[in-house]
């Protein structure tokens, strides 16, 4: 579903991604681990069109998307969350989730031939958006947060709202950048459960960046360990956890 081939990204003299190659099959939960500065977020930025890589290619469902703009990548069904929250703090959970749906609005000023036609279609779409957002609220257990402002919510709940907003675009591929960062143990356990549900019930393929190896052990189909922008190990979670270079990187 996603193929990264020989991806290289430099910042001045620093090589953040160094000839990186890997593939993610449809339906997987694929985790990327590695110490701070390993190039994990840079990889997502290259996939999403925020950075234009110096070399290499990104392919999504056989189509090359390297160098496409972020909205073009999003329209193909790739959504992401950010390592640092990017929500509208003075809007409610519901409003933030509705914004995620924006991408799917078909009825604009130019669509529809007659006023009547246009109005009925817009009304139908509005109902569809609300239904979809209610589904996400159910799925992630966000009922209590529904009509509260983002700034009023605990950090762990804010992270869930961001996850919900990414889901609201109905992606087929979801990129999560350290979704559990800043969460307590219980919130982390819940999050893992929901990530499993998102894959199983919505059929979304997931690529998850996580600093902590323990977090990804139980849930990942495959794991990629990065350091200095290069692969140090790739395989099943237990293969990667036992790899001597991973052990060295994590245990010093
Ligand atoms: P990770 O997410 O694995 O912690 P990053 O991908 O954020 O790592 O960063 C990898 C390296 O690239 C780091 O050394 C970081 O300082 C550098 N880097 C990332 N983005 C930029 C940028 N926009 N400009 C300059 N250096 C950057
Ligand atoms: Mg990062």
**Distance between start and end Cα atoms, the chain:** 34
- Does residue 16 have its Cβ closer than 6 Å to ligand 1? yes
Q: For residue 47, what pLDDT band results from cuts at 50, 70 and 90?
A: very high
Question: Do β-strands 230-235 and 222-227 pair in parallel, antiparallel, or remain unpaired?
Answer: antiparallel
pLDDT confidence of residue 143: 95
- % of the chain at pLDDT higher than 90: 64
pLDDT confidence of residue 119: 65
Segment 68-107, tens digit of pLDDT: 999 899 999 999 998 777 889 999 999 999 887 765 555 4
- Does residue 52 have its Cβ closer than 6 Å to ligand 1? no
**Which protein residue has the closest C-alpha to ligand 1 atom 23?**
11
Calculate the dihedral angle through the C-alpha atoms of 165, 166, 171, 172, rounding to the nearest 10 degrees. Answer: -130
- Does residue 38 have its Cβ closer than 6 Å to ligand 1? yes
- Does residue 44 have its Cβ closer than 6 Å to ligand 1? no
Give exposure, 202-230, as e/b (b: 16+ Cβ within 10 Å). Answer: eebbbbbbbbebebbeebbbbbbbbbbbb
Segment 16-33, tens digit of pLDDT: 999 999 999 999 999 999
Helix residue ranges, H only, 76-176: 93-101, 115-139, 155-168
How far, in Å, from the CA of 27 to the mean position of ligand 2?
24
Kindly report the pTM of this predicted structure: 0.89
pLDDT confidence of residue 252: 58
pLDDT confidence of residue 200: 93
d(CA 120, CA 199): 34
């Amino acid at each position: 579903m996603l193929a990264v081939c020989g991806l290289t990204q430099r910042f001045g003299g620093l090589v953040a991604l160094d000839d990186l190659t890997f593939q993610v099959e449809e339906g997987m939960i694929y985790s990327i681990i590695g110490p701070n500065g390993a190039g994990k977020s840079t990889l997502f930025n290259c996939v999403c069109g925020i950075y234009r890589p110096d070399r290499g290619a990104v392919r999504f469902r056989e189509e090359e998307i390297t160098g496409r703009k972020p909205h073009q990548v999003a329209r193909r069904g790739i959504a992401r969350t950010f390592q640092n929250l990017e929500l509208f703090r003075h809007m409610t959970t519901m409003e933030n989730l509705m914004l995620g749906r924006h991408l799917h609005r078909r009825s604009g000023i130019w669509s529809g031939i007659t006023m009547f036609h246009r109005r009925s279609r817009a009304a139908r779409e509005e109902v569809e958006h609300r239904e979809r957002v209610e589904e996400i609220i159910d799925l992630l257990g966000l009922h209590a947060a529904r009509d509260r402002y983002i700034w009023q919510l605990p950090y762990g709940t804010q992270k869930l709202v961001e996850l919900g907003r990414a889901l609201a675009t109905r992606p087929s591929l979801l990129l999560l950048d350290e979704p559990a960062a800043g969460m307590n143990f219980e919130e982390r356990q819940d999050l893992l459960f929901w990530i499993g549900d998102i894959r199983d019930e919505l059929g979304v393929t997931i690529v998850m960046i996580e600093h902590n190896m323990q977090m990804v052990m139980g849930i990942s189909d495959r794991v990629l360990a990065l350091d200095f922008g290069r692969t140090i190990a790739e395989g099943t979670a237990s293969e990667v956890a036992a790899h001597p270079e991973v052990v060295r990187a994590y245990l010093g």
